[in-house]
Chain A
Amino acid sequence: MGKISLNHITKIEGHARLDLEVKGSKLVKCELGSIEGSRYFEPLLKGRDYRDAPEITSRICGICSSAHGVASVMAMENALGIKATPQTIILRELQTIGERIRSHATHLYFLALPDYLGYESALAMTKKYMPEIQRALRLIKIGNEMVTAVSGRVMHQISTTIGGFTHFPEQEKLDEFRKRLLAAEKDIIDTAKLISSLKVPKLSTEGEMFSLSHETEYGTSHGFIKSGDSTFEQKDYSKLLKEYHEPYSNANFVVKKGKSYYVGALARVVNNGDRLSTKTQEFIKKNKIDFSDMNPFKNNLAQAIELIHYWEYTADLLTDFKVKYESVMKPKKKSGHGIAANEAPRGTLWHEYKVSKGEITYANVVTPTAQMLRNMQDMIAVYVQQMLTKKTKKEKIVLEVEKLIRSYDPCFSCATHFLTVNWK
């Protein structure tokens, strides 16, 4: 079959490339890399005022700007000795969840679903599937409203700041929003039904399931890290995870003890399954959903499952939530070192800063896509070899590989950008 090069993979966030080399029916090379231009966010933060960190880093990504903004604010608070109030923690979680809802809805309907229904895009689906597209847009709107209510804007937060919030949603608007959220139940359940009806190829990841976790909650924006059977504290990430560079990629790769691991909705659902909301557990039971095979294609289904969970969790949370004005807390010190993790829609995100006299001296951001890149590459190799052994046609292999990549929901802007396949 020779070489396959996918030089620009579409329907993913950012720009990436894949090179495959086949001898006989054996895959001898599989290189997945980012071809996004480098933006150098971390060194650009050096020498800047500590308050600039969330403003600058939220621009790393349009899809998960809240995940970055919130992680940045939390890491900076850890560095400067600020302890967030309970209300602040709730509001940041709402912002993170709102973004999760619109990101999952966008990914499921606009990027993933066309593959399964045999369309080149959601735009082409509008003739036959207009109700589904409109459902997607309603869910995106709910998520966007939530992010806007808390942070002031659809993306690139305004009110969310180091020490609290500079602006608060009006109680009346939050109550109205809760009504609209409750009314979205059918859209949420219909989405989960639709995604669970899609047939996925058999595949099983070899990496550990890696995500935030918590004793009593579904891990979202606080807690400890769970990876396979082990747990560790957020601040210890650099001892366990290693970043490395490959000449064919503008994004770094991340490994844990030399091995790839799995981040994202599937990892969260596996690690926190018993803390999913009541209606979510009922849906899983009723539809006999099983994630124990750790099939990366099921990340889409895990996203749909998370939609039910976050929908019910938020509706419950808002039932008695009364927002009150709180002034922004000032840092206790102007120098320090802080780390924080937050679950972005596509996996665990880390921000780390060192600050001296109010000036940033070091910044490190480890994105979910950098962490999933190696696992994605490993799984592409396994899946392509499976298909080669079955003598699958080249065109079908390319299509299936793209489908696999999309199910990871990578964000190559975050990791730098994403995909073009090169068959060589």
Chain B
Amino acid sequence: MAKKPIVGFYGITGCAGCLLSVIFNEDEIVDIIKAVDIVAFPFIKSDNSKGPMDICFIEGTVVSLDDEKIVKELRERSKVVVALGTCACEGNIPAIRNYTDDKKLSKWLYKKNPQNQDTRTPKPIHEIIQVEYRLPGCPPDRDEVKRFIKDLLLNKTFRNVRSAVCVECKLNKNGCLLDNNLVCLGPITSGGCNAICPTHGLKCYGCRGLADDANFDEYFELLKSKKIKPTEVRKVMDTFMARAVDEKLKGTKWEKYH
């Protein structure tokens, strides 16, 4: 038998939900533990190796100098880095603050010691280090996490779903939430989640990041025709993927709506 891959699971600033999405594969986690050599997992382990890793999963957004140091160090120790979840892939909710005044924010919350807070620009990890794979989603899809680990063990190349959430939503035979005048981001968001939110009656907030062929012009115009202002649409887009949207809209006529 080939040597077991040496694996680490790390979290920087985040909610631990992605790490739990790995553990919460209740029927398979024991087999996963046997199939790979988990040398680091500070959330559930006290002894965490400082040695090299074949694969390192990282959850969380880079919001501080410490976070930045940690991801750089993990990169040096790992052959393959996997961005686990929307914080690591897109910046998630902390990245909204890139478009707000940091000092005001800090003062607002920590009234007594605003100078103590390290308020850098929150970033997804690929803006700091090279990342080989991404498993987006808030939370990541447990089946996709399993498929990734399976592909890895079989030496297959893992591929993300690149079509829009709308494709899976239509396959589920749902009615369209845009028809209810909701800012559903299904048309511009990457699928792979089986359109779980729209299927349960909630609009898509874009947690899996932009679809490859996201057509912003058509999307903004469609919402405008429903009397929903581009600034309102932009707020919804900023919820989970503010960094990517900002990058895509630079130099377009939609840039000013913020």
Contact = CB atoms under 8 A, between A and B. Distances in A.
Interface of A: 8, 10-11, 13-14, 35-44, 47-49, 52, 55-56, 59-63, 65, 102, 106, 110-111, 114, 120-123, 126, 130, 133-134, 137-138, 140-141, 144, 152-156, 158-159, 161, 166-167, 244-247, 250, 252, 413, 417
B44 interface: yes
A355 B43 CA distance: 37
A154 B45 contact: no
Contact of A63 (B16, B63, B112): B16
B155 interface: no
Nearest to A161: B202
Which A-B residue pairs are the 10 nearest by beta carbons? A62-B17, A166-B201, A37-B13, A37-B63, A152-B200, A121-B45, A141-B26, A158-B200, A37-B64, A120-B46
Contacts of B118: 37-38
Contact-size category for B: 35 or more
Given A11-B46, A133-B30, A159 B15 contact: no
A417 B63 CA distance: 12
Interface stretch (B102-110, B161-169, B244-252): B102-110
B46 A10 contact: yes
Interface string B39-80: 001111111100000000000010110110000000000000
Given A120-B45, A123-B38, A39 B200 contact: no
B109 A413 contact: no
B111 A245 contact: yes
Given A60-B15, A161-B202, A166-B200, A11 B45 contact: yes
A36 B26 contact: no
Interface of B: 12-21, 23-24, 26-27, 29-30, 33, 38, 41-48, 61, 63-64, 66-67, 92-94, 96-97, 100, 104-106, 108-113, 116-119, 122, 138-139, 142, 196-197, 199-202, 205, 232, 235-236, 239
A11 B200 contact: no
A141 B110 CA distance: 38
A62 B117 contact: no
A123 to B, nearest CB: 6
A247 B116 contact: yes
Contact of A159 (B45, B64, B100, B201): B201
Given A59-B92, A137-B29, A111 B13 contact: no
A14 B111 CA distance: 23
A65 B235 contact: no
Contact of B100 (A13, A36, A43, A155): A43
Contacts of A59: 15, 17, 92-93, 138
